[in-house]
Amino acid sequence: MADQPTNNRLPLEQGLWLITVALAAWMIPGAGHFLIRERKRGVILFAVITTLFVIGLYVGSIGVVDWVGGRIWFYAQVLYSPAVGLIGNVTKHGGYPVYGRPADIGQIYTGIAGLLNLLCVLSAVYMAYCGRGEMIGHEEEEDNG
Amino acid sequence: MADCGFILAAFTAPVEIGTTPSSMLWMFPLLAAIALVYKATKMRVLFTKKYLQQSALLFLSVSGFMFMAIAVLNLLSWLITS
């Protein structure tokens, strides 16, 4: 049986809240979980996904973000954050070398980072819908000591 | 300031990675990240020890599956070409 929403917000307020959580989670990985008081989860997600994305850019160069020549990859990469669009704007004229195995690894790392962030956006929205952060935040805080 | 420019410049050219079998080792950081993120979104409550244990278990399971896939593909290519 699906979880039912446990908070007492009005439907419109609830909808706006879910949109806010989704946008926050998209703009900064982990921010959606942070908003719903799942702080530990938010910090872990931010650290892991950002590290993956930065490694991808380092290995393949920022040229792997290419919305002209690699549009399908770009759709996956931009799920990491709208800021990826700025990188795409810088690299759209070419000029950054991208080739061989480093390009493959860079595209895979940055693309997977974006898709993992999509998973986090969905997770944050679902948790916000269920009011889970408010319910179990205390249990985690006790574990943290 | 110069250090900052040096760091940014490192992102404008790819690092050297040959098309060798050892370049497949780059899949392991990716698998680790996927295991950590998946478990962070899946577990109801994030108790540190349990989270790390379950992430490690998932990482090892997926790595094992990858090794099996590599072995089977190598065997198939050996059977076809020999």
Per-residue pLDDT tens for A82-96? 999 999 988 888 788
B31 against A139, higher pLDDT: B31
Mean pLDDT of A54-79: 91
The answer to whether residue B6 sits within a structural domain is no
With beta carbons under 8 A apart, name residues in chain A contacting B17.
59, 100-102, 105
Contact yes or no for B30/A52 (Cβ under 8 A): yes
Domain count of chain B? 1
pLDDT exceeds 70 at position A68: yes
Where residue A97 falls (left for φ over 0; alpha for ψ -120 to 50; beta otherwise) is: beta
Segment (H or E) for B67: helix B48-81
Mean pLDDT of A32-58: 94
* Residue in B17, B28, B47, B59 to test binding to A, most A beta-carbons within 10 Å: B17
Contact yes or no for B15/A102 (Cβ under 8 A): yes
Amino acid at A2: A
The answer to whether residue B69 sits within a structural domain is yes
Each of the 82 residues of chain B gets a pLDDT tens digit; together they read 667 777 888 888 888 888 888 888 899 999 999 999 999 999 988 899 999 999 999 999 999 999 999 999 999 999 999 8
Kindly determine whether residue A96 and residue B37, on different chains, have CB atoms separated by under 8 Å.
no
Does the ipTM surpass 0.85?
yes
The per-residue pLDDT for A135 is 55
Domain interval for residue B36: 19-81
C-alpha separations of A10 from A14, A15, A16, B1, B73 in Å: 6, 9, 10, 50, 56
The answer to whether residue B3 sits within a structural domain is no
The per-residue pLDDT for A1 is 44
* Res. A119 pLDDT band, cuts 50 70 90: very high
Q: Which residues of A79-103 are buried (b: 16+ CB within 10 A; e: fewer)?
A: bbbeebeebbeebeeeebebeebbb
